[in-house]
Structure 1
Amino acid sequence: MNIDHWLETIPPLLVYVTVGLVIMIESLGIPLPGEIVLVAAALLASKTHSISPLWVGVSASSGAIIGDSIGYGIGRKFGERLFAWAGRKFPKHFGPKTIAKAADIFRRRGVYAVFFGRFIALLRILAGPLSGSLHMPYPRFLAANALGGIAWAGGTTALIYYLGVVAEAWLSRFSWIGLGVAVIAGLVVGMIVKKRMSHHEDEPEPQEVSQPADR
């Protein structure tokens, strides 16, 4: 079952909890599809009034901030041992080259890497643990993390929600336009057929040619 189909089967409160938990766990440094869950929930909110886009954004922002903060604490305490273990368990995401490259970005960019890293899948996973292992001051990390989390979660939710609303309205109009075109096409075809039939009825019947009598 797809994520969006599964979200449609659970109560709204569980949708918010799911969004928050998945993004929080992803922000701890565990590769989960946080962005996919957020997009699916925002799109669902555009289709049904039972899901609030505001609460989707709030739960996603909360999950991002809390998860990154926990990830920061874990990274600060365990440091290199954490990434050595993660590299063995998830070599695709936490291989030595990947960690070295990400660490270089965080050393050079500091809080900017934390803020903008929220918008990049791999850096989003690494932001908390790496910042902690590099001993970035927590108040600076928290400020950049909170602003980045709110901007990413709120911006993504709003964008997908309004795109979904516009798409739904456009498809609704398209269905009425399609119905109108079909009706007009049917009338035109009917008129053409009727005209042709009447034209054939008005044509004079061919006269029989009498054969000369044999002499």
Structure 2
Amino acid sequence: MSWITNNILTLHGALALFIVFLLPALEASIFVGFVFPGETAVILGGVLAFEHRITLPEAMIAASAGAIIGDSIGYFVGQKWGHALIDRLTGRFLKPESVHAAVSFVARR
């Protein structure tokens, strides 16, 4: 993880903003938060703003837009392929009774 942070801290301008946007978007969109550290990129965006490599408003807009767009993509992916994915994983990795309990809980809300 330190090599990621070190590489992000060497960036300037548009590329730095792209990374500050991309990592939260990837983290939120397709359930890869374990691989792509979105929060780390947001914090490093603040560090880059402190070092005047990017501005703070730019970092805030990039991180917010990445998170919002990533959440929206994740929602639409789940809406389109969520049931098929759950059906495929049930029995292999998920217990049918656990899936039923989760679906019942969500339906009650």
TM (norm. structure 1) is: 0.38
Partner of 2:73: 70
Measure how far apart 1:83 and its partner are.
Answer: 4.3
Q: Say if 1:83 and 1:57 are closer, same or farther in 2 by CA, change over 3 A.
A: farther
- Residue aligned with 1:50, SS: coil
CA distance in 2, matches of 1:13, 1:78: 33
Tell me the alpha carbon deviations over residues 52-90 of structure 1, each in whole angstroms, 9 at most, x when there is no partner: 111111011111111111111111111233346689xxx
CA contact (8 A) 1:4 1:44 kept: no
Partner of 1:30: 32
CA distance in 1, matches of 2:77, 2:7: 32
CA distance in 1, matches of 2:17, 2:71: 18
Tell me the alpha carbon deviations over residues 159-184 of structure 1, each in whole angstroms, 9 at most, x when there is no partner: xxxxxxxxxxxxxxxxxxxxxxxxxx
Alignment of 1:138-157 (within 5 A): none
Measure how far apart 1:49 and its partner are.
Answer: 1.6
Q: What do you get for the CA RMSD once the two structures are aligned?
A: 3.0
Partner of 1:39: 43
CA contact (8 A) 2:24 2:66 kept: yes
Measure how far apart 1:36 and its partner are.
Answer: 1.1
Of structures 1 and 2, the larger Rg is shown by 1
Alignment of 1:105-184 (within 5 A): 107=106
Q: Structure 2: which 5+ residue stretches go unaligned? A: none
CA distance in 2, matches of 1:75, 1:38: 25
Q: Structure 1: which 5+ residue stretches go unaligned? A: 88-94, 111-215
CA contact (8 A) 1:15 1:41 kept: yes
Q: Say if 1:21 and 1:84 are closer, same or farther in 2 by CA, change over 3 A.
A: farther
CA contact (8 A) 2:9 2:44 kept: no
CA contact (8 A) 2:28 2:74 kept: yes
CA contact (8 A) 1:12 1:50 kept: yes
